[in-house]
Structure 1
Amino acid sequence: MAARIDKIVTSGTFSLDGGTWDVDNNVWLIGDDDEVLVIDAAHDASAIADAIGPRRLVAILSTHGHDDHIDAAPELATLTGSPILLHPADAHLWGQKHPDRRPDVDLTDGQVIVVAGIEGTVMHTPGHAPGAVCVYFPALGAVFSGDTLFNGGPGATGRSFSDFPTIIESIRSRLLTLPAETVVHTGHGDDTSIGAEAPHLDEWIVRGH
């Protein structure tokens, strides 16, 4: 059975720097009929568990530590017995939401995640958050960008622990080197592609300054 990509959208809030906003998050499931990887367990562990169904959950991979991307991760881990993966540079953000439950595995740049017979490579792409990562699956022609790259530009860098020049460098040196046809599956909103976003890098730099 070939690996496939499924998506559910969950709704909740994002809180940082004393503010709270309503958000819709994309939760990505990569796998086949037997096993699956969840990227960003957002808001609703029960809904994600329903989407997983009887499949074995290989891991819960968090693209970064903002609370809207991790709030359902501990509950989903308890329901499924699967480990939570997070880059250690976002341990402080994680701890603001889950002070009594740490992630199980530290993500590292270049780490390979295997699910349903295909490999995804972890790319450390700081800027939106210090420990932000993207995951590239060549066999699927897809990269899961979290909040690093969206349809229309880079993720937000106006709040604590974020930095605009850093996210631009992450996008320029890591994501835009992927094949132009690579589909970008984002943390919020619609998909895009590397080829659609690459021509606008200079515009983002001017706009960001």
Structure 2
Amino acid sequence: MTYSGQVTVGGPADVHELKDLMITKIAVGPMNNNAYLLRCRATDEQLLIDAANEAETLLGMIGDDGIASVVTTHRHGDHWQALAEVVAATGARTYAGRDDAEGIPVRTDVLVDDGDTIRVGRVELTARHLVGHTPGSIALVYDDPHGHPHVFTGDCLFPGGVGNTHKDPKAFASLIHDVETKIFDVLPDETWVYPGHGNDTSLGAERPQLPEWHARGW
């Protein structure tokens, strides 16, 4: 089946099968958060992005193989409600942006800085520090050697705009700058975008809207 990235709370997961990596997307309530399970096809090691909520749902998706690690994209509570339970059940190593870790009430084993590499089996993800939605938000970039890149943006980039900066002009200026210079300026239009809520998009679909985002200030 073709991956669409369209999932609903209580509905089935959707699986994006790449040559070296399997990406499973599921939505959990009550705030329609996306969680992503990455599985290295060579080693079967797994990594979870955002243990947002519904620990039972996430652990069912993870299955008996467990996870080696879980990455929290940022400190907002809707992205870590299930983190403690998932870590207790799996023993996973925890990752979070250095400047957001103090706001996550589960110990962060690895503090992540811009440009750091996070591995899942033989697959490498590059962390990009995007400031504005929170001080320490991180996106994860998988530069697929067999195709186009894939980027997990948390709440920093969605279809139609960057993340919420709560009408703070400085925060918006910071976030739009980081998203442009670290994502749009260095990745091609074919890059697939997996956001923290809602449907997926691509950089090519969003790039023409950048001037509008600047003009409106959000």
TM-score by length of 1: 0.87
Match of 1:2 in 2: 20
CA deviation after TM superposition for structure 1 residue 172, in Å:
0.9
CA deviation after TM superposition for structure 1 residue 8, in Å:
0.9
The aligned amino acid for 2:75 is: G
CA deviation after TM superposition for structure 1 residue 102, in Å:
2.1
Q: Which has the higher helix share?
A: 1
1:142 to 125, 128, 150: 150
Q: Count the aligned residue pairs.
A: 193
TM-score by length of 2: 0.83
Cα distance between partner residues in 1 of 2:91 and 2:46: 13
CA deviation after TM superposition for structure 1 residue 159, in Å:
7.4
Cα distance between partner residues in 2 of 1:205 and 1:117: 38
1:46 to 47, 56, 61: 56
The aligned amino acid for 1:57 is: I
* Alignment RMSD (CA, Å): 1.8
% same residue: 38
Q: In the alignment, does 2:105 pair up with 1:105?
A: no
CA deviation after TM superposition for structure 1 residue 55, in Å:
2.0
1:200 to 206, 209, 212: 209
Q: Is the 8 A contact 1:123 1:135 kept in 2?
A: yes
Q: Is the 8 A contact 1:3 1:116 kept in 2?
A: no
Q: Is the 8 A contact 1:43 1:68 kept in 2?
A: yes
Which runs of at least 4 in structure 1 moved beyond 6 Å after TM superposition? none
Cα distance between partner residues in 1 of 2:143 and 2:96: 21
Unaligned runs of 5+ in 1: 13-22
Superposed CA deviations along residues 42-101 of structure 1, whole A, max 9, x for unmatched, are 11112111101122412110110100011111110010001111112113432xxx2xx3
Please list, as runs of the form range in 1=range in 2, the aligned pairs for 1:30-109 lying within 5 A after superposition: 30-32=38-40, 34-94=44-104, 98=105, 101-109=106-114
Unaligned runs of 5+ in 2: 1-18
Superposed CA deviations along residues 23-60 of structure 1, whole A, max 9, x for unmatched, are 11000011146221100101111211110112241211
